[in-house]
Structure 1
């Protein structure tokens, strides 16, 4: 299968080489303004009277075969400092706008919104996205892989939304210092997207097939400049912070610990497309907590990176490989270990080359005998054909001046080094219908020789009615990635998937169809160890609600002793075989209602001829646009023979999100985790007093649920300021 995938990739490369940009004929001209533009949501500036406007949008959803019913008018202009955007979003039917809240980076499909996507290098793979919902909450992100948006990216820009009886207007100014672009270029890729929940219509200026997101850069039109954008000038930002905190442990009882700290980040534009990030004594205490999940798997769970320093051009580092094969995972750096300093150089060298270089030094930790460590990463991407690329990565983790003693071995012994080197080819056809990957990785570590390679590849075909996917992976027994995320080793994986969609001509159902996914694991001697076959039937309603009916067959031969409850009671023996079947459903309600909910249910067999019942739900209500309350609940009941018996795990907690304005936020997260026997309360107040400058107050409590008693408590006050030089 691996050879077949590689052959198909090569054939598609030859086909793609001569392909043209799909929407090259869609052009919007932008002209320099000589008069000031006031960002107030009122379209009365002379710049807008002179600007070219476009209003002919195409429907994407529910169907992509006609012009949009909901009218949207867009104009753009610029001066020496800013790029300006004006969008007039007309109401097609009467009624209130639907938004989640005033919080930044809202869910696209759950809000009435206007968002645009800029391909500033015309490479159809990277770019920037900006927009707002109908009450003015901002959206911004860095784009990668031709249509994905990293909403953790955050930068300086301003916007205002003003509502009228028959429309709402979005007006924005984006400093040229905020974005990266090609010098002397007179054409950028661009597309505008509108989501209107009252009519359940999603539309775009340049047409996009319904199976793809409107963020797909393969389908952008062209922004034609009357002259090249202003040449990049000095662009240096310094972001200092000061912090005060107090924390106290009650079990075991310790005195309160007071901390006063300071540090800084700096962003230096080496060129208009290449950025240098520097950090000294970074602190990430303001980052929101991860949403907890009950872990009944045999492997480590994955949680995404949220820290700002690692985010710009983060894809060039973090997206090498697959979700279960990552040679680099930035959360391995600095969580629980202080970072002394670090530097990242990332961006474009020219039209075809991207680079990412990172070096970070962490401090030693006496309690665990962990030495000071250095993390170095080099990543390169070379664009080939229209939208594909070849990528290289090198990852090096080294313990500094490390000579462990006998006393250190009691606390822990660490590797002198761990290194990874890899190469991959990423395929993306000009129309995005064919995508794929082929990759190889090798690790280097003391005392681990042989069987230290990883190979993987996939190919996907996406049309309006068909989605056909095939993936294969091989991970050697000695392959190690200490700065990566590879939860499983010594296996071969085969993963085919086939989906088909029917389109009724009328009725409440928009599309429906079967989805079959199969995952087979073998050891490296090609003896089967696991499989999971899932057959589901997906209904998508015209209201945008979805229902999926699921049946699943599982087989596991344990490679190591395993406790099926993950509580430490007892283990099943290595080599034992387990088979079971499961049925269930998933339902997601229509997003345009104030009351929304999801429901998921599974019931079937489990290890040791037992049974497992799983139920989960998210129930939300919004007092828009200021308050959004969501209650998340998951319940797992394991019915097993002795010594485990019947075991129940409840994970429940509300999230209360109050957005006083689009600059003043308060969030409280309460999570009760029965599996971890912990009740966590995390409250976070944020005041964005200037663009990208914040004041944070964070309060955290952890409790024993029974008998109810506090474990730890902490309070953090943090202030940062984004200073442009």
Structure 2
């Protein structure tokens, strides 16, 4: 027996030695800290360790982080004082990797400096030479994990007050970059741009996203839910400047620590990703890539990013900001009960105080949103409700902390409305009219793994006319409390309570509507997510409490996407400060959703990839009678240029319980009660965002209830330079029914001119013939220092039947000044 054991041990040693000797490859390419090795496919498993052989010496230690069909990609974890060169031999040093001990993420380092650089786009300050250059960007798309054909070099330094980023973006010719936007917070996804993602809690859940194009246009977002949810209207006070050279363009960025929330530590570690988009090649490169995905939202994902080290003894300041404003102007409401022109002079104040380094308190007195653009006109020919996004700054800051429910989702055929227990547009707005906000307070932040959000707003009473009706709004108090706790690596659970209390002159503050719920988000991997919530509402007038519940599964891989959802809403479930996409006449319902996509990458023509699959939605009542269903089969072809073509076949069945009119203007055209099945087909192109002239247009034709419907949708833009842009959105519907014919047209025009990144003028004109409505909004915005603005606003609305008649007009000048203490 002992001899057999000895022989077995010898054979094991011999086999292991043979495998190690056979597991030898060759360095094909080196890019930053990444080493591309050939000849080791199938021999070097993920997370195994390699050793570079430099002549007689043992060289760098490597860790395998990616296996491709022809290559093994490893990163340097120990340089051992030697460089890795093309042609070096590489051997497998551990055949059985210790997965639990792997260094799972690429690591970059920030360098502390005593003197801050002059942020002018020129990276010639001596402090930049002290930073460790970061190289080795890889492609997310089209050539997955391959080195970027145009090098990007990044340096990171910091002082006690700010963190700085310096980007060098090498190009064959500086005239080849594409930059069609100059204004801050403009749409720069189609331009050449650099990107920074900071996960300051290193929890892979939330983050801050910053982007800059070659003209210096800045864009920032707040991320949550692993980057699946993002707030485009979050506004951070940061500085970015750019400079152009014959062979490169550079970016210099300062982000004050006071604008970020993070856990204070002697040696902090943040999650980080750095990226660059090369527009003329439609090529996305990143420091760390997750799934191969051409979607621009993939760059927001916090699940697959690197780590930033070297941040020592940084302090999350407890900021105190005061922002007063003055608002002189004139207003005229021709629809008021007693129309008259009046001169106004309003003042208000916003204050932010850091309760702790990570939790802040915001107070707002006489809150004003004069500069906020009006809602985009929409056409609704269904029995469902329209959804409009929030645009007001006070409600956008920290909005991710109050998210509860199913989120809105943009599809090829439009935006599918969400299911929200808290919807801030229920505050300060009534039938499109602004209701004065007397005072608002908000607490928001995160300590450790717990996030907290609280909001309280008091609105004033108001009286106005709407379509010949007198609308009286009582003074109302709104409050919400949300607490969320991170668990596991990338999951969380939380609860929310929402209250609306109305001050009735006869009954006092006795009328209320309340909502509460708990939810759970579980992501076992970066590609798979489960979500569930349960909620209840109480109403003093209805007297009953009713519930809603929701579960979903979402899978998002490289080639296959899938989503399943179930929503159950009871009859009396009515969150007065929320949003439920009920169908008319269906108070309580169950909804089932199915979504599946196959995303092949065919090797022919100019096709980058395709996206093909079905999407289905079914509504039933609580007796399981089907009231509505729709089935879509769509195919998108995305080209290497970034252009795409859409084809969609849609089948719909709708049970109309009560007759309705799809047109506000032609109320005599009625869809009778009954069961209808109709079909439509949509086709059309959408050009790349990088094009100066972008004429996007879709055509739809098919049956519609008792007749037919023909639709043209256009989202087009013309940007002859980074300073001037013109955008137009149009939808025309021609409906032909036995009961009568009608046409509905909505048209939106937006003309902008930027004098600089911080100074622009904009004209926004809309028309909706079905509502017999037109409006014009002119805005001049000059940001004379970070957080401080001058706004000149001219706003007017008109009726269009039978002639153009003014409904209201206002001319306002708003001056705000941000003071940091």
State the TM-score bracket (shorter-chain normalisation): over 0.9
Partners of 2:174 and 2:245 within 8 A in 1:
no
- Structure 1 position 140 matched with structure 2 position 140: no
Structure 2 unaligned blocks of 5 or more: 1-97, 409-417, 465-470
2:125 alignment counterpart: 45
**Deviation of 1:257 (Å):** 1.9
1:221 alignment counterpart: 306
Q: TM-score, normalised by structure 2?
A: 0.82
Separation in structure 2 between the aligned mates of residue 248 and residue 170 of structure 1, nearest angstrom: 46
- Structure 1 position 102 matched with structure 2 position 102: no
Deviation by residue 1:305-349 (Cα, 9 ceiling, x = unmatched)? 111111222112134334331111011111221111111111102
Deviation by residue 1:208-259 (Cα, 9 ceiling, x = unmatched)? 3223612211111000015232x23441001111101212234678220221
2:241 alignment counterpart: 160
Which of the numbers 500, 505, 511 marks the counterpart of 2:598? 500
Q: Cα–Cα, structure 1 residues 24 and 237, in superposed 2: closer, same or farther, change >3 Å?
A: farther
- Structure 1 position 698 matched with structure 2 position 809: no
Which of the numbers 513, 535, 558 marks the counterpart of 2:633? 535
Separation in structure 2 between the aligned mates of residue 463 and residue 438 of structure 1, nearest angstrom: 21
Q: Cα–Cα, structure 1 residues 315 and 724, in superposed 2: closer, same or farther, change >3 Å?
A: same
- Structure 1 position 179 matched with structure 2 position 277: no
- Structure 1 position 638 matched with structure 2 position 735: yes
- Structure 1 position 479 matched with structure 2 position 573: yes
Greater shift in the superposed pair: 98-107 or 649-658: 98-107
2:809 alignment counterpart: 713
1:682 alignment counterpart: 777
**Deviation of 1:671 (Å):** 1.0
Structure 1 unaligned blocks of 5 or more: 1-17, 406-413
Q: Cα–Cα, structure 1 residues 63 and 108, in superposed 2: closer, same or farther, change >3 Å?
A: farther
1:14 alignment counterpart: none
1:629 alignment counterpart: 726
**Deviation of 1:127 (Å):** 1.7
Greater shift in the superposed pair: 261-270 or 588-597: 588-597
Alignment of 1:660-675 (within 5 A): 660-675=755-770
Q: Cα–Cα, structure 1 residues 449 and 571, in superposed 2: closer, same or farther, change >3 Å?
A: farther
2:460 alignment counterpart: 363
The structure having more radius of gyration, on CA atoms, is: 2
1:57 alignment counterpart: 137
SS in 2 for 1:524: coil
Partners of 2:559 and 2:600 within 8 A in 1:
yes
Q: Cα–Cα, structure 1 residues 467 and 375, in superposed 2: closer, same or farther, change >3 Å?
A: same
Q: Cα–Cα, structure 1 residues 440 and 575, in superposed 2: closer, same or farther, change >3 Å?
A: farther
Separation in structure 2 between the aligned mates of residue 25 and residue 328 of structure 1, nearest angstrom: 36
- Structure 1 position 244 matched with structure 2 position 299: no
Partners of 2:173 and 2:246 within 8 A in 1:
no
Partners of 1:64 and 1:208 within 8 A in 2:
no
**Deviation of 1:599 (Å):** 1.1
Q: Cα–Cα, structure 1 residues 455 and 699, in superposed 2: closer, same or farther, change >3 Å?
A: same
- Structure 1 position 724 matched with structure 2 position 820: yes
Separation in structure 2 between the aligned mates of residue 497 and residue 404 of structure 1, nearest angstrom: 49
1:80 alignment counterpart: 160
Which of the numbers 585, 588, 601 marks the counterpart of 2:686? 588
- Length, aligned pairs only: 694
SS in 2 for 1:54: coil
Q: TM-score, normalised by structure 1?
A: 0.92
**Deviation of 1:165 (Å):** 1.2
- Structure 1 position 198 matched with structure 2 position 280: yes
- Structure 1 position 557 matched with structure 2 position 652: no
SS in 2 for 1:564: coil
SS in 1 for 2:221: strand
Separation in structure 1 between the aligned mates of residue 685 and residue 386 of structure 2, nearest angstrom: 24
Partners of 1:95 and 1:198 within 8 A in 2:
no
Separation in structure 2 between the aligned mates of residue 307 and residue 333 of structure 1, nearest angstrom: 11
Separation in structure 1 between the aligned mates of residue 260 and residue 767 of structure 2, nearest angstrom: 41
Q: Cα–Cα, structure 1 residues 249 and 232, in superposed 2: closer, same or farther, change >3 Å?
A: closer
Separation in structure 1 between the aligned mates of residue 341 and residue 544 of structure 2, nearest angstrom: 50
Q: Cα–Cα, structure 1 residues 537 and 21, in superposed 2: closer, same or farther, change >3 Å?
A: farther
- Structure 1 position 262 matched with structure 2 position 359: no
Separation in structure 1 between the aligned mates of residue 477 and residue 544 of structure 2, nearest angstrom: 25
Greater shift in the superposed pair: 105-114 or 186-195: 105-114
**Deviation of 1:389 (Å):** 0.6
Partners of 2:174 and 2:248 within 8 A in 1:
no
Partners of 2:511 and 2:541 within 8 A in 1:
no
Which of the numbers 547, 550, 574 marks the counterpart of 1:453? 547
Partners of 1:100 and 1:106 within 8 A in 2:
no
Deviation by residue 1:350-401 (Cα, 9 ceiling, x = unmatched)? 2x11011111111122554422111110111011111111010100101136
Separation in structure 1 between the aligned mates of residue 730 and residue 578 of structure 2, nearest angstrom: 31
- Structure 1 position 385 matched with structure 2 position 488: yes
SS in 1 for 2:662: coil
Q: Cα–Cα, structure 1 residues 76 and 99, in superposed 2: closer, same or farther, change >3 Å?
A: same
Deviation by residue 1:440-493 (Cα, 9 ceiling, x = unmatched)? 110001253557110111101111110011101111110011111113131101
Q: Cα–Cα, structure 1 residues 290 and 348, in superposed 2: closer, same or farther, change >3 Å?
A: same
